[in-house]
Structure 1
Amino acid sequence: SLLAPYRPVWAGSVGPAGVGPGSLYWPVYRTPVIIAFNSKAVSPPEAPQDWDDILDPRWHNLVLIRDPMASGTMRAIWGFIIERSLRETGDTTAGMAWLRALDRNTKTYALNPAILDQKLAREEGVVTLWDLPDILISQGKGMPFGYLFPRSGTVVIDDAIGLVAGSQHAEAAQAFIDYVGETEALLLAARQVYRLPARRDLPLDSLPDWVAEVERTMKVVPMDWTLLAQEGAGWMSYWDQHVRGTGNHRKD
């Protein structure tokens, strides 16, 4: 294994979701997926309210998507769609059909988050699927972005930390792991870079208002992360070769 077991001092305040087997890694932040939109072009009631709404023909050529082959966030979304298909039908066919319908509405696949932000701000497209921290940071920079959580529930990615096996400075690494999960560090990350803490024992009166709003409105969907780790590369390869670009012609 690339990682060595280590139990942080704050380990009792998280989990069990996001904790690695044998204490190999521990969740520090939770990254929710959202439906984001240009708030100058689309009002919250007009925006897609759930996953399937973004497939509506009204959004034809108005959807911007971060290139899934280069994005862990997008791979998690693709994985959710395919896992939902497996749960409901026992097969991936319906999931790939959903992604093909999304491809039909997609104007472009942005190579990186900065390009995605620029295109969304310029109204080259007006809706996207992306992660909450990036959108909140962009809002703080004055970009005209709004967001909402899919009504039926959303994917939440556990961003974890672990100790590298064979580290020459294991004690320093352990001290750093302990630090990033401390109350002070988590509150700093929540206030300055919009990271949602994985710990649930932080003082509520110290957390920024956006955290309480997220916890109140966000519904988390179940994800089989083990299955995604095992099958995700194959699913993504199939999508890239057989689904991407099978909708309408566009400039990528």
Structure 2
Amino acid sequence: LLLPYKAKEFDKVILDKDPQGAWYSVRVCNMIIAFNKDKLDPKDAPKSWKDLLDPKWKGKIAMPNPLLSGTAYVAVGALAQKYGWEYFDKLAANGMKVEQGNSAIQNKLLTGEYAAAMILEENILKLSVAKKEPLAVSYPSDGTIMIPSPIAIMKTTKNPEGAKALVDWWLGKDGQKAVVKGWMHPVRADVEAPLGSIPTSQIAATKIKIDWKDLADNNAKIKENFRKRMMDR
């Protein structure tokens, strides 16, 4: 299905890529913990995914719905792989709310309805840096959930040279700077991460390892497990 192509700057890509160049990570979204620093002292904010189980956060935490959001689905799958489904039983017992999406969560963080939440880093950076809102990111000590987006060339392409040029641009410095303008992380160490963030390599060093095949093969099962534990109570 895919046409292997060693991009001009193949060696500059520090995140996941096919050794033969059949596919590359081209940008990265991160699922993190966010909080409102006007309403919660940063030293008291949750520092790990396990911290969300602390009774002091009961009824004051939220996450996006993995039945509707692909990034939330990855986060649920990653945490289930790391801690087992018992983790979600405990989250449910601690009053974790499931929202339709990131927008509702960020708005309720701003009002103080939620003390902390699982949410995409880019949403928080955009509000905190560009709009000067008092939201902050906590990179979990037990691993940020890194969600790369791939780029690849189909073997059936009618313009392979044009496709190769596009891959080269996206993986080059200009393409990666365009990624950063969208508040997502680059896949090169020589392109700075978004303002307000930390280097991509630093996040990658402690990221949660994800079995992507399991997430692909067991989509319906994972969603059903989540629904029963978190939404049918």
Q: Output the TM-score relative to the length of structure 2.
A: 0.85
The equivalent of 1:236 in structure 2 is 223
Match of 1:51 in 2: 49
The alignment status of 1:195 with 2:184, answered yes or no, reads yes
Q: Name the SS of the counterpart of 1:115 in structure 2.
A: helix
**Amino acid in the other structure paired with 1:161:** I
Equivalent residue runs for 1:1-252 within 5 Å: 1=1, 3-15=2-14, 17-20=15-18, 23-85=21-83, 95-106=84-95, 108-139=97-128, 140-190=130-180, 192-200=181-189, 202=190, 210=196, 215-216=201-202, 219-240=206-227, 242-246=228-232
Offset at residue 20 of structure 1 (A)? 4.3
- Structure 2 residue runs of 5 or longer lacking an equivalent are none
SS in 2 for 1:197: coil
* Alignment deviations for residues 161-219 of structure 1 (CA, whole Å, 9 cap, x no partner): 122442344433332221111112213432x222221123x26xx66664655645762
RMSD: 2.6
Task: Give yes or no for contact 2:153–2:163 (8 Å, CA) kept in 1.
Answer: yes
Change (3 A) 1:120 1:211: closer
CA distance in 1, matches of 2:54, 2:199: 28
Give the partner amino acid of 1:230: D
C-alpha separation in 2, matches of 1:188 and 1:22: 25
d(CA) in 2 for partners of 1:239, 1:103: 10
Residue identity (%): 23
Aligned 8 A contact 1:64 1:120 in 2: no
Letter of the structure 2 residue corresponding to residue 223 of structure 1? I
Cα 1:214–1:42, aligned 2, differ >3 Å: closer, same or farther? farther
Give the TM-score of the pair, scaled to structure 1.
0.79
